[in-house]
Amino acid sequence: MKILVALDTQKYSRKIVKDVARLAQNTLADIVFLGVQAETAEPAEELTLALTKYQQDVYSYFSSDELPYGDLSQAKWQKEDKGDWLISAKGIKEFSLRIRSGGVAKQVVQVARDTACDLIILGCDEEFGCEWDGEMNVPLRIAEDAPCSVLVIKKSLAVKQIVSILDQSVVSQDALEMVNQLVTLYDAGLKIVGVQEKGGGKKDQIEQRMVELLRYYNEREVSGWVTLIDSEQVKKYVTNSSKEAIVALWMGNKQSLIKRLFSQSMVDKLLSTSRSSVFILR
């Protein structure tokens, strides 16, 4: 697994480092820390110092004999391309710090593609929406265009439940596996919520899919609950669930009912109002 973590110098970025470290400990993932800055000739010192500090914080969660990453302490920033700098070290796994110049959302999505990452993680302000260095709706715009799932962490709560909202469209194996890793990470229960369109058009199909998923989790000894709700309930259900649980929304393809129900503004509202984290599955 390769995880791309978008970071800046703000409090919402500092707060997610602990969650990233725990996920790194569990998964031994390759990690890329990405900072994005305005176009300048050199990487900004404030940003390089922040990324280095976050990396050292992650390393500190490992004992020296358990650290899967290489030593970055002597590494120097290398210019890869115009507005693109990199430090990287490989142990059993690779840890990279990267700085790109340009718009935050655009660069995060581009690096996610370039590095073939499996998950993007970023923080989001608890109180003032999801502005990133003057750019509005950054998490939403990343989620819209990302080639992989996106975890937006608002507050590091003791998560007891992952609420995974699915519809009639095909759920990718990658998305299921990502939910599995989160359930394991937080030792959380899993609630699978099926959404049917008003009038129950595809109820049988959704129920069958949910039974299959329940069987999948039971075989893997994961406690799972399933429930079915009408499409008109979904916004309220998601908003309520997001108060205590991580909400995982399947928004994988154009056929996705949830994608249709959740307009961009709704996802943005969810990101703004959720107390916990929001997981956009791909």
Please identify, using beta-carbon distances, which residue of 19 and 268 lies nearer to other proteins.
19
User: DSSP string covering 30-67, please?
Assistant: EEEEEEEE-S-SS--HHHHHHHHHHHHHHHHTS-TTT-
H helices present in the chain, as ranges: 11-14, 17-27, 45-60, 104-114, 138-145, 173-186, 203-219, 234-241, 257-261, 264-273
Structure tokens that stand for 46 in this block? 């404030």
Distance CA 235, CA 149 (A): 21
Q: Does 180 bind other proteins (CB under 8 A)?
A: yes
Q: C-beta of 173: minimal distance to other proteins in Å? A: 5
| Binding map of other proteins across residues 40-79, x = CB under 8 A, - = no contact | --------------------------x-------------
Q: Does 161 bind other proteins (CB under 8 A)?
A: no
Structure tokens that stand for 181 in this block? 């890793």
Q: Other C-beta atoms within 10 Å of 197: how many?
A: 17
Q: C-beta of 185: minimal distance to other proteins in Å? A: 8
Q: Does 92 bind other proteins (CB under 8 A)?
A: yes
Please identify, using beta-carbon distances, which residue of 220 and 243 lies nearer to other proteins.
220
Listed ranges 124-132, 177-185, 205-213, 235-243: which one lies at the site for other proteins (CB under 8 A):
177-185
- When binding is defined by CB under 8 A, the residue of 9, 181, 231, 233 that contacts other proteins is 181
- Helix then strand then coil, in percent of the chain rounded to 5, is 40, 25, 35
Residue count at the site for other proteins (CB under 8 A)? 25
Please identify, using beta-carbon distances, which residue of 83 and 252 lies nearer to other proteins.
252
Q: Does 100 bind other proteins (CB under 8 A)?
A: no
**Nearest alpha-carbon partner for 118 in 33, 30, 184, 12:** 30
**Which residues between 226 and 245 bind other proteins (CB under 8 A)?**
none
Q: Does 173 bind other proteins (CB under 8 A)?
A: yes
Please identify, using beta-carbon distances, which residue of 40 and 253 lies nearer to other proteins.
253
Strand partners, 248: 164, 279
Q: 């519809």: which residue's tokens?
A: 167
**Nearest alpha-carbon partner for 232 in 260, 209, 265:** 260
Q: Does 174 bind other proteins (CB under 8 A)?
A: yes
Q: Does 20 bind other proteins (CB under 8 A)?
A: no
Q: C-beta of 4: minimal distance to other proteins in Å? A: 13
Distance CA 251, CA 36 (A): 26
Distance CA 161, CA 13 (A): 23
Listed ranges 69-77, 96-104, 135-143, 170-178: which one lies at the site for other proteins (CB under 8 A):
170-178
Q: For residue 129, what is the DSSP state?
A: -
Please identify, using beta-carbon distances, which residue of 148 and 210 lies nearer to other proteins.
148
Listed ranges 39-47, 202-210, 215-223, 262-270: which one lies at the site for other proteins (CB under 8 A):
215-223
The residues that touch other proteins, with contacts defined as CB under 8 A, are 1-2, 25-30, 66, 92, 116, 118, 173-174, 176-178, 180-181, 183-184, 219-222
